[in-house]
Amino acid sequence: MPKALLLENIHPLAVESLKKAGFDVELRKGALSEDELIEALDGVDLLGIRSKTTVTKKVIDARPTLTAIGCFCIGTNQVDLDYAAKHGIAVFNAPYSNTRSVVELVIGDIICLMRRIPAHTHHMKHGVWDKSAAGSHEVRGKTLGIVGYGNIGSQLSVLAEALGMRVVFYDLEEKLALGNAQACATLDELLEQADVVTLHVDGRKENTGFFGEDQFAAMKDGALFINLSRGFVADLGALKQHLASGHLAGAAVDVFPIEPKKSGDPFETALADEDNMILTPHIGGSTLEAQENIGVFVSQRLEDYWFNGSTMLSVNMPQITLGDYKSACRIAHLHDNLPGVLARLNHVLGEEGINISGQALGTEGEIGYVVTDVATKPDRQTIEKLRAIDGTIRLRIMA
C-alpha cells in the first residue's frame, strides 16, 4: 500500500480521497523542520504540505524515493522545484482554488481601512466613543493600484470596479486588462496615483524586499497599503515608519517574513500598536470553501500522477494529460532532455517483443517525459534495461 504524509491541517476531504484511492494516509497538524521532515518521510511516497513546510535539497537527497509533492495552496516557493524535477519528484499546487477567498479578503480590508474600522474598534474596546467622520471615506471613486495582475490581481480588478473604484495595475509581463483597468508602464506611475496599493506578486526570489523604503515614500499621502502575497516582499519596518509619521493612513498585512509553524504559537510584530491596522495570520485563502476545493483538487492531481502518470498542471514537469490505460501496463520514463532517448526506449521494448499500444512525449527545459502503454508487462530484466538508458531520472511501472 503506497503511503501519503499530509502536514499543516490539510482538509479532511484530501485524506478521504487518498484513502479511497488506496493510500495509507498519515495526517499531522503542524509544519515540520528540515530534520523532522526527513525523519517523517521514511517510506513515504506522496507528501502534502501548505506554506510553512520547506522541501529543500537536503530533504530530497535524504528521501530519493519520494515520488510527488502536493502543495495544498497557491505558492510553490517552499519547494526547490528544479532540484525536485531533476530527482524525479513531480510537484502540484492549486493555482485557482482559493483565488476568490483572497480577493474577498482584500475587498473587506479596503472597505474597513477606508472607514477606519480597526481604529474605531480599538477605541470602542477601550471605552472611547469617537463618533467622527474624520479620515473616513467611501471606496467609490478611489483608485486601486494592483501590483501583480495574475489570477488574484485580475479578479480583484473586476470586483473593485463593481464597487466603483478606478483600477490601475503594474506587472512585469504584458497582461490583458479586464474591464476598464489601465496598465501602468512603471511601478512609480502606479504609486503616484493609487489611493490603495495592494501586492499580489509570486514567490520568486527576485521579489524579496522589492517593496521597500523608496516605494513607500513614493505612495500618495493618506494612501493605504495591503499585502496578502508573500511576507518577504515588503519591508515592514519601512511600513511602520510611514504609518507612524502619518504619511500612510492605514495598512492590512496577512503575511510576514517569519511566521509560526502552527496555530497557537506565539507571534509578535511591531505593527501591532498601529492605529488603523488590520493584522491577520496568513488566512487570505483560508475559507472552508477554498480549503475544500484545494483538498479535492490537489489530491486528485496526486492520484492521477501516481496511478496514470498524468502530469497535468504539474509546476515542474512536462505537461502530459493522460486518462486511465486499457493496456496491460503503462511505463513512465522521466529523463534528461537528450536526443535519442525515445528511440532507445522503443528499441529496448522492440528487442523484448513488447508491443506498444500508445505513447505520449513531452519536454520542458532540461526534462523529458515519455509515457508508453504496452500490451505485455516487462520482466525485471527489461525494466533494468530501460532504467539503464542514458539520462534516465526515474522509471515507474503502472500495472
SS3 169: strand
**Mode of pairing for the β-strands spanning 46-49 and 277-279:** unpaired
pLDDT attached to residue 204: 83
**Which residue out of 50, 116, 166, 230 is catalytically annotated?**
230
Q: Is pLDDT of 261 > 90?
A: no
Statement: residue 336 has pLDDT above 90: yes
Is pTM beyond 0.85? Reply is no
Cβ–Cβ under 8 Å, residues 374 and 354: yes
pLDDT for 331 equals: 98
The whole-number pLDDT of residue 370 equals 98
**Is 247 an active-site residue?**
no
CATH number for domain 99-279, candidates 3.40.50.720, 3.30.450.40, 3.30.565.10, 2.40.10.10: 3.40.50.720
Q: Which CATH superfamily is domain 1-98+288-315 in?
A: NAD(P)-binding Rossmann-like Domain (3.40.50.720)
Nearest residue to 202 (alpha-carbon basis) of 315, 300, 60, 283: 315
Q: What angle do CA 104, 198, 252 make, to 5 degrees?
A: 70
Which is catalytic among the residues 115, 116, 166, 282?
Answer: 282
Q: Is the pLDDT of residue 263 over 90?
A: no
Q: What is the dihedral of CA 332, 19, 286, 147, to 10 degrees?
A: 0
pLDDT digits (tens, 9 = 90+) for 139-172: 999 999 999 999 999 999 999 999 999 999 999 9
- Express each pLDDT in 188-238 by its tens digit: 999 999 999 999 998 888 899 999 999 999 999 999 999 999 999 999 999
Active site (annotated) includes residue 230:
yes
What is the Cα–Cα distance from 27 to 40, expressed in whole angstroms? Answer: 11
Q: How far apart are the first and last CA of the chain?
A: 14
Q: Are 381 and 354 in contact (CB under 8 A)?
A: no
Catalytic residue among 259, 292, 352, 364, which? 259
> Which candidate, 72, 85, 94, places its Cα nearest to that of 15?
72
Phi, psi of 185 (to 5 degrees): -70, -30
Extents of the domains making up the chain: 1-98+288-315, 99-279, 325-399
Contact indicator for 191, 210 with CB cutoff of 8 Å: no
Q: Which residues contact 355 (CB under 8 A, 6 or more apart)?
A: 374, 375, 376
CATH class assigned to 325-399? alpha beta
282 counts as catalytic: yes
